[in-house]
Amino acid sequence: MPRILAVDEFWGQGFSEPGAGSDLAGLRTKAVLDGDEWVIDGQKVWTSAGARADWMYVLCRTDPDAPRHKGISMLLIPVDQPGVEVRPIKNILGGAEFCEVFFTGARTSVDMVVGEVNAGWGVAMGALGTERGTTLLAEHLRIAGEVRQMIDEARTSGATERAVMRADLARAWSEAKIMEWNGLRLMSAIKGRGPNPEVHASIAKVFASEAHRRMGEAAMRAEGSRSELVGEGYGLDRLQQIFLSSRAETIYGGTSQIQYNVLSERTLGLPREPRRA
């Protein structure tokens, strides 16, 4: 923990796989004991900041004969070894925040397990339950700045002369404030002064991702025709970046549809969505 807090050591999350994103229990990366080490084979994808990670916490199937949500363990795996290959994934903005990671005979010590062996599903759900909201706690500061920039751009382009644009800007400002309040409410829940923090995390996540996508669309209307122009080498201004990057926010970290299911089933007590056999 001291090395993480001092930013001397970076960690990546190895959860999602090709064919096992929202349906995380379908993961196929496996770990087999070999003496006092685990041997890991498989592939992970959409690993945030994976190219800079020193370690990864990885969900692996450690009992292939157990039911889907059983037989999964969370292992801690050092990245700097021959059996780990990290490949950056270039996105529409030209960056490479995400990576795919291949494990081919990668190894880690037998004691590098979070929780109990074959009980990693509960550990992962606990982590994801709050991650969806806590990752947004500081984002409201950045988003409030984006809204101010959007307002300035609309004034410069003359877009504020239109009542529809003024309504868009008012909504963006209001939703930025709601994101801030959702974050404060989540922090209170995490500290034990409110309802289940996992519920608040889902509320904060689905609201922020849907609202930020609307903000990106409003930003393009605020820029007017200039929004269709890019700079040298496909250079994008900040509002154009928001528009493009926000398209993925309703997918990563748990799709909006998954969040709606979580809230309807676990909070409102509505019937569960039919599952495929």
d(CA 72, CA 76): 13
Q: Which of 260, 264, 265 is nearest to 22 (CA)?
A: 260
Active site residue 217: no
d(CA 179, CA 146): 13
User: Could you tell me which residues are beta bridge partners of residue 107?
Assistant: 39
- The Cα angle at residue 269 between residues 66 and 207, in degrees rounded to 5: 95
Which of 131, 139, 210, 217 is the catalytic position?
131
Residue 202 CB partners (closer than 8 Å, separation 6+): 132, 133, 254, 259, 262, 263
b (16+ CB within 10 A) / e for 7-37 = eeebbbbbbbbeebbeebeebebbbeeeeeb
Residue 33 CB partners (closer than 8 Å, separation 6+): 39, 110
CB atoms within 10 A of CB 200: 23
Which residues are the active-site residues?
131
